[in-house]
Amino acid sequence: MSKIPAPENLIAPMEPLVTEDDKSLPSSMQEIPKLRKRKGGIPFISSISKDEPVVTRRELWSYYMYYNGDNGVGPLGFSMTLFQLWATAAGYDPLKGPGSSCTAADASGQCVLPWGNSTKAVSSVVLIANGASFAVMTLIFTTIGSAADYGTFGRWLLVVMTCICWAAQFASVSLTEPSRWGVAMGLYMVGFITYGATLVFFAAVFPRLARNTSHSRELRAKYEAGEIEREVYETEESLEKNRISNISTAHSNIGYIVTLCLNLSLLLPLANNPKVNNYVLVLTNGYWVLTGIWWFIYQEPRPGPPLPKGEHYLTIGWKQIWAALKQYKKLPYTFIYLFSFFLLADGLNTTGTLVSICQNDKFSFSFLQNTYLGLAQAITSTASTFGFWYIQKYWKIPTKKMFIVTNVVTILIPLWGMIGIWTNTIGYHNVWEFWFYNVVFGIFQAPYYAFSQTMMAELTPPGYDNMFFGIFGLSNRASSVIGPNVIQAIIDKSGNNWMGFPFLFALCAAASLIIWFGIDVEKGRRDAVSWAEENRESQQNEENETHAV
């Protein structure tokens, strides 16, 4: 029986349109038509080339190893702890006045820092740093996120962001006294911003890898030959995406475990050394350098098309995002997911920051205790990622149903903290609760990251990966401009960290309900494929007309 072309294939080979200026480009880029602006504005450009190389075993493992090192222990965890440590040491108890210590035995539990013409709670300062970081991420993703679909810009963008993050982490060795809390804040923000950017631009590579594995190629060939039905093809292709997503997420957690164990080699013998925390950050970052550099060596070239004539890398991103947003009627489920994930990511990311602030206070900013807690989370995360994947693979459970399971726990985490407003019995007031939180977070939230990424991949038009993953990054990382700023205002006014949890519970609950009842993944996937095919056909027709002229 005859079949339409596989959803991720070009509808027909496109004739190369190579100018003299293009002859210096790699051959794979020369085969992608040179694009010009449409009459209606900026074109939608597919980054799929007809001769994309098959993913090699070496390339796939280098992909996993980059994520193994990019596990967040340094820029997401220890850097914030060091920043909060020196900020607290530099602050004072507002009930006792300047010169008092926030960590004294008779301290009130409140701690403020000079901030402009007034003061601000240390917790609020940390949340402001987070909110500002997410605002910068928003600027990055909106300005140059979509531009990563052109040429080799996306590849070099990841290199630059990674190197800046590495530099900020190594520079943390200089943070050795309370007076440097401002520098600690700056380095934390630079590291956090670039770390978030590496996650987004690295994740945008995932759909290209998934569609070019030997198994995916074989599935497409069978589908086009009429050997398997469309439903079988879609199910098997979805499982292939989940396989890579889950294994890469598991590797991130394996790297988390290895990094924390390496840290113990310094934290235990050098427990009394005042600079041990700085040494740990250098060791943590060094591990990422050793595991991450191979991706830049072994990544196969899959360049996108040249930048359209008359466009610029710093402006085309905004134009493409605006043009993409106007497609919401054609891609309703894609945009419903992006909106709901905006709320969900804001709620969960800010909840994690708030719990970390409470945890740091409880354990007196101890890198050693945070390492033990991190190990509990990392071990359970690794086991659960593989466990969820095998459960999904064995019963062939759709991605959305697996994601829903993790959403339930996402709602319960801030709910637990909210209970702590009215009682000290539970609600992140006790040591055992932070152990419990890290274990539960590991079991359910590691798969959450894998399934959320796969959901986005399934709802993304094939060949427009960086454009839509850039918006996804906006939802995932940059969304949290709102949460930290709202929470810091609540905490600054109330003096109580726990007053922020009700707002976060409402965000997570609302987002989860939209995902559960408002998204049809199967229909959304087919809408995305149809949209991509329509735009590629239109693009081809315009190029043929230009070529004929």
CA 186 – CA 135 distance, rounded (Å): 14
Q: What is the 3-state secondary structure (H, E, C) of 140-161?
A: HHHHHCHHHHCCCHHHHHHHHH
| 34 pLDDT above the threshold of 50 | no
Question: How does residue 90 score in pLDDT terms, banded at 50, 70 and 90?
Answer: very high
Paired tokens of 213: 């594995």
The pLDDT value recorded for residue 313 is 81
What's the Rg (C-alpha) of the chain?
A: 24
Select from 460, 545, 464 the least CA-distant residue to 42.
464
Provide the pLDDT confidence category of residue 450 given band limits of 50, 70 and 90: confident
Residue 296: closest CA among 203, 496, 157? 157
Q: What percent of the chain has pLDDT over 90?
A: 59
Residue 268 pLDDT greater than 70, yes or no: yes
> Is residue 546 very low, low, confident or very high in pLDDT (cuts 50, 70, 90)?
low
Across the strands, what pairs with 526? none
pTM of the model: 0.78
pLDDT at 149: 75
Provide the H-helix boundaries in 172-275.
181-203, 206-211, 214-224, 230-267
Rounded mean pLDDT, 265-282: 95
The Cα–Cα gap between 188 and 197 comes to 14
Contact indicator for 327, 400 with CB cutoff of 8 Å: no
